[in-house]
Amino acid sequence: MKWAEFCRKFVEQVTHNHLRALFLKSNTTMSTTTTKTGHSFDRAILDSLLRRRLFYTPSFEIYGGERGLFDYGPPGCALQANIVDLWRKHFVLEEDMLEVDCTMLTPEPILKTSGHVDKFADWMCKDPKNGEIFRADHLVEQVLEARLKGNKEARGQTVEVDEAKEAKKKKKVKDTKAVKLDDAVVKEYEEILAQIDNFGGEELGQLIKKYDIKGPSTGAELDPPRAFNLMFSTTIGPSAGTPNGYLRPETAQGQFLNFQKLLEFNQQSMPFASASIGKSFRNEISPRSGLLRVREFLMAEIEHFVDPESGKKHERFEDVKDVKLVLLDRDTQLSGSTKTREVSIGEAVATKLVDNETLGYFLTRIQSFLLKIGVDRTKLRFRQHMANEMAHYAADCWDAELLTSYGWIECVGCADRSAYDLSVHAKKTGAPLCVRETRAEPLKIEEYQVDIEKKKFGPKFKKDAKTVEQAIEALTQDVREKLSLNLEKEGKIEVNVPGVGDGKVELEKDLIKIEKRTRIEHIREYTPNVIEPSFGIGRILYSMIEHVYWSRPGDEARGVLSFPPTIAPTKVLLVPLSNAPQFKPLVQKLTARLRRLAIANKIDDSSASIGKRYSRNDELGTPFGVTVDFQTLKDGSVTLRDRDTTTQVRASEDEIVAALKLLVDGEETWDDIKKRLPLFEGQDVD
């Protein structure tokens, strides 16, 4: 695109951009989050907790680390396993989906067909002086933002400080100088920032030139942006010299390639869904924001295959139609607002706000899953993709976004991918990735059919005969109708055949017949459409942790992670009052008993005070604690503590174990237990 053309398009988009600018701004403002108890959220404290308690840790740290890669330690690993387990129950089991496990290694031709080889790329540019590499859009964004901030300072306006952004910027932007900018320039910068996601490589290059953006550490002129494919390439097998495959960027392709076998497994019955849980890979140019943008991540994806002519109805939609969702639709965003509204999914689908029942059904299922694992309902919204955000083939797309200290984060995408993927793979391989079903009533089709007098065709057109034939077969019904009339009227017709003679071929009545006839179709063949809910497990896990994190008044240095019992890494902490030997067999008996009930539990018999041991486990999110004390030696009773309220009850071991089973299975709440069993107020020694 030429610069002039770019400017023209730019002006055309100004209205839209202003709205996006507004939107972006509101987005930033909202990132000052509060904890569930209404206190202001301090990310540094949470980060420190998560590392100290080994929820996760940068990979290969003793070798200096590798950006964008994280290892999960024991609590993070258990949390992740529990979330995956719940996901499998909530979706695969309850919805009777066909789970598959496909390989990550993927030969190149598959990803060429899917479009990833050509299009799954970001623009990067290089500082030729020191070899530093930047993601072009991020660089432009950060430099212009810094200049706008400098302008505000120069004008004596207050500057909102977003610490996360500041930290990022410090690395790339040398110093924010308090330089005043012209009003027009400010407006121009704001407009560019508003649509930073929409620029291609050439446009980014032009912006870098126009606004004199230089290498941050060298001041050198940057190389022009070039596309960097985000897939990791590798070589499969010993014969190829050069890379011939990739690590998958999504689990979806494996599911599409197995479509025919899955349909067969499902006894040819439609609709059905496949599902897959596994790692995918994305070679980020500059990974950042902890678990939110990493190079290797766990995904859980569903591909729900549906007949496009069914109106994408869903059998169980009736069951969910009154479920309310907080929606931020496309029109609202276009009107410059981020105001959400709470609508029942029944109404949303009836008014076509959400495209169809199947998409709507999954939005409610996504919501109930997220709420089950502990997401804060007030920090969840469904945002519809803008037209220019969606892949060209997508019919509609909604993201479940969670509010975190990094802003609203896309955690689940729910897209209608239409028939795109199955179609391209079928076209490339000739495999019948489609459904064939006997029509309940045979279909009568009236159409113009062409008969060719093959015996005369060959002699007349010789080596071109095939080409001419194909051109005739390809004629549309409209053209056929017209030609049929001409043929009748004039006894001959003229057909366009590119590449033969002068591109036109004359055909007489004895060579061709075109007639309107009725055809009966008994079998219907169609390519299913795909509704795809796609979950980024790491992003969900991190955002949820921000939602359940808080600290007790007066003890802000120590956090509490209020995981729901179902997903808590450890369900019960077992604490002997002291490490006196007579407690040991009791605790051992209890741990074995809970283990038999599949209740994950840990013993803490360290010499720290009970209070310290409990607060250590508050940080690990352990919902319940059982103490064995001198009273236990006398009457066999133990105490049970609730993490969130720190209240305790005391009862016989049998009663407490039964209560734990009900609590962990989610069949009773702490309130139920408190009503049933006597409260206990002694022993909480700090």
- Contacts to its own copies from residues 51-110, by CB under 8 A: 53-54, 57, 59-63, 66-74, 76-78, 80-81, 88-89, 93-94, 96, 98-107, 109-110
Minimum CB separation from its own copies for residue 64, in Å?
8
Alpha carbon distances (Å) from 44 to 80, 164, 165, 287, 619: 22, 10, 14, 19, 15
265 near its own copies, rule: CB under 8 A: yes
Site size toward its own copies (CB under 8 A) is 77
Minimum CB separation from its own copies for residue 353, in Å?
31
Q: Which is nearest to 211 in space by CA: 145, 144, 133, 150?
A: 144
Site string for its own copies, 423-462 (x = CB under 8 A): --x---x-x-x-----------------------------
Q: Which of residues 133-192 bind its own copies (CB under 8 A)?
A: 133
Residues ≥6 apart with Cβ < 8 Å to 598: none
Minimum CB separation from its own copies for residue 63, in Å?
6
Minimum CB separation from its own copies for residue 264, in Å?
8
- Which of 255/529 has CB closer to its own copies? 255
- Which of 66/166 has CB closer to its own copies? 66
- Evaluated on CA atoms 654, 658, 664, 670, the torsion sign reads negative
- Which of 267/476 has CB closer to its own copies? 267
DSSP string computed for 571-614 = SEEEEESS--GGGHHHHHHHHHHHHHTT--EEE--SSS-HHHHH
111 near its own copies, rule: CB under 8 A: no
Query: For residues 290 and 521, what is the distance between their CA atoms, to the nearest angstrom?
Result: 57
The identity of residue 587, as a single letter, is V
Query: For residues 449 and 518, what is the distance between their CA atoms, to the nearest angstrom?
Result: 9
3-state secondary structure of 87: helix
35 near its own copies, rule: CB under 8 A: no
> 202, 296, 410, 684: which one contacts its own copies (CB under 8 A)?
296
Minimum CB separation from its own copies for residue 399, in Å?
26
Site string for its own copies, 592-631 (x = CB under 8 A): ---x--x-x-x---x-------------------------
Minimum CB separation from its own copies for residue 547, in Å?
22
3-state secondary structure of 468: helix
Q: Please list the alpha-helical segments (H only) found in 273-354.
A: 317-320, 330-334, 345-350
Pairing type for strands 133-135 and 121-126 reads antiparallel
Three-state secondary structure of 188-208: HHHHHHHCHHHCCHHHHHHHH
- Which of 104/658 has CB closer to its own copies? 104
3-state secondary structure of 517: strand
Minimum CB separation from its own copies for residue 110, in Å?
6
Q: CB under 8 A: which stretch of 149-157, 171-179, 277-285, 386-394 binds its own copies?
A: 277-285
Minimum CB separation from its own copies for residue 56, in Å?
9
Phi, psi of 50 (to 5 degrees): -65, -35
Element (H, E) at 304: strand 296-306
279 near its own copies, rule: CB under 8 A: yes
Minimum CB separation from its own copies for residue 142, in Å?
18
Q: Which of residues 227-246 bind its own copies (CB under 8 A)?
A: 228, 232-239, 245
3-state secondary structure of 397: strand
- Which of 89/155 has CB closer to its own copies? 89
- Which of 48/429 has CB closer to its own copies? 429
Query: For residues 132 and 534, what is the distance between their CA atoms, to the nearest angstrom?
Result: 34
